[in-house]
Amino acid sequence: MTMYAQTSGKQSTNSGSFVPIPGLSLTIPEGAGASALVILNLPMPYATGNDFPGANLGISVNGAVSSVVAGFTYNEQTPPSFGRMPTTLVLNVPLANKPQTVAAVWSGVRGSTVIIDTPATLSAIFD
């Protein structure tokens, strides 16, 4: 079985700590002894700022952010342009005895504003 959520429109955050990405959450079913492969894909994100801008990306399970995270930063303190930084995060989530909410989360690095203006997706694949 596969579950899928997708964003639409432009979204951004300048939070210094993880906050949910609107529209990217799923409730995965119970299933003790099995697991779900959860995939967060941001095909064209970028970040703006003047201190090596970048983004942190993660997946939370019932509100707890996994220690497995992804991210990017630019190589220049103040980039002359803010190129796209495709980012994908894959996480194995053990299923529990009750449904669980998985959600994509993000934050800016060193005061950056992180922006997505193309569809981003959160998928869960399980048996």
Question: Which pair of tokens denotes residue 87?
Answer: 């980012």
∠ CA 32-34-37, rounded to 5°: 130
Q: Give the contacts of 11 (CB within 8 A, at least 6 positions apart).
A: 21, 22, 23, 115, 116, 117
At 37 the pLDDT is 97
**pTM for the full model?**
0.94
**Phi and psi for 57 in degrees, rounded to 5?**
-130, 140
- Domains annotated for the chain, with CATH where assigned, are 2-125 (2.60.120.760)
- pLDDT exceeds cutoff 80 at 127: no
Could you count the other beta carbons within 10 Å of the beta carbon of residue 67?
A: 7
- The strand ranges marked E within the chain are 2-6, 11-13, 19-28, 35-42, 46-48, 54-61, 64-65, 70-73, 87-94, 100-109, 113-116, 121-125
- Residue 14 near residue 111 (C-beta atoms within 8 A): yes
* pLDDT tens profile 106-116: 999 999 999 99
Question: Which pair of tokens denotes residue 74?
Answer: 């630019």
Q: What is the DSSP letter of 76?
A: S
- pLDDT exceeds cutoff 90 at 14: yes
At 96 the pLDDT is 93
